[in-house]
Structure 1
Amino acid sequence: MTKAADIMHPGAQWIPATENLERAAQLMRDLDVGALPISDSQERLCGILTDRDVVVGCVSQGRDPARMTAGDLAKGTPRWISSDADVSEVLREMEDHRIRRLPVIDKNKRLVGMISEADLARHLSEQQISEFVEKVYAT
């Protein structure tokens, strides 16, 4: 049985909710990622920041990314999956919530990785990918 830990990209990195968006953008560039999980002061997941969030939620509104924080853009309840969850649970979570990136948390509630569409494409069958795309991108 394939687990979330088997298909995730390991070594994901948090960004504190208090960190400014300028630093977040630099970190995304340096890590070559399009999203960062946001942590609260207790290192618990409190959101996910995407490169699109920075552009749409800050830059396009004429706001200063050096003055806005990751926490300013953290909205809603973040979704995550346990590292020992079956891949069918991963797909269900991503499909049900129409999300493209999913943080992976270990039994100690620590971030251990991220699952993206690219990870799914590398590890799943064409049929599974087809069903995922149909459910996530359906209008």
Structure 2
Amino acid sequence: MYKFLEQVTADAMTRDAKTVSPGVTLRELGDLFEKEDFNAFPVEENSQVVGLVSKFDYLANFVFTPSHMVPRYDDLMKRTAADIMTPEFVYVRTETKLTRVLQLMVDHRLRSLPVIEKGQRLAGIISREDVMRSLQRCAQA
């Protein structure tokens, strides 16, 4: 287990993260969430991460209460990632220790975190599964 203490995000992350543009619609997001089975997509504009859109953000659009009127379905599905994304999000760097990544995931109940380089550029994404694989690898070594 001591080996896990030395691991950094770059050792475990997925480098080819899928992203969406701010203009992608809810209809398109729904299709992407179903097709890719990811919990969240970084929202990228001009090669910079400007937000994060999750399944939770998507589903929150369908919560209707007496004080929250139901919009027409077609109008709702035309909302964009920019409309629903979380612009202030938790992220890590490639050199962040996996112990810190794990702590952030547990504390904030996150399934994945974008990995950001200088200039807000996306280096990849790290998921709970990535951390679990690293833990298993280190336990077997």
Q: Quick check: TM above 0.5? A: yes
Give the TM-score taking structure 2 as reference length: 0.71
Cα-to-partner distance string for 1:21-78 (whole Å, 9 max, x where unaligned):
1112222333331211112x33322322122322232476554453110111123511
Match of 1:99 among 88, 100, 110: 110
**Partner of 1:49 in structure 2?**
53
**Partner of 1:82 in structure 2?**
93
Paired AA for residue 81 in structure 2: A
Match of 2:133 among 97, 122, 125: 122
Distance 2:55 2:117 in 1: 25
Distance 2:78 2:63 in 1: 11
Q: Any stretches of 5+ residues in structure 2 without a counterpart?
A: 1-5, 65-69, 137-141
Structure showing greater Rg:
2
Task: Decide whether the 8 Å contact of 2:39 with 2:112 is kept in 1.
Answer: no
Paired AA for residue 127 in structure 2: S
Report the 3-state secondary structure (helix = DSSP H, G, I; strand = E; otherwise coil) of the residue aligned with 1:18.
coil
Give the TM-score taking structure 1 as reference length: 0.72
Cα-to-partner distance string for 1:101-134 (whole Å, 9 max, x where unaligned):
1011234542122112222222226xxxxxxxxx
**Partner of 1:35 in structure 2?**
40
Distance 2:111 2:36 in 1: 18
Task: Decide whether the 8 Å contact of 2:39 with 2:111 is kept in 1.
Answer: no
Distance 1:59 1:38, change over 3 A: farther
- Superposed CA RMSD: 2.5
Q: Tell which has more relative contact order, 1 or 2 (C-alpha 8 A, sep 6+).
A: 2
Identity %: 29
Report the 3-state secondary structure (helix = DSSP H, G, I; strand = E; otherwise coil) of the residue aligned with 1:83.
coil
**Partner of 2:121 in structure 1?**
110
Match of 1:14 among 15, 19, 23: 19
Q: Any stretches of 5+ residues in structure 1 without a counterpart?
A: 126-139
Give yes or no for the alignment of 1:68 onto 2:72: no
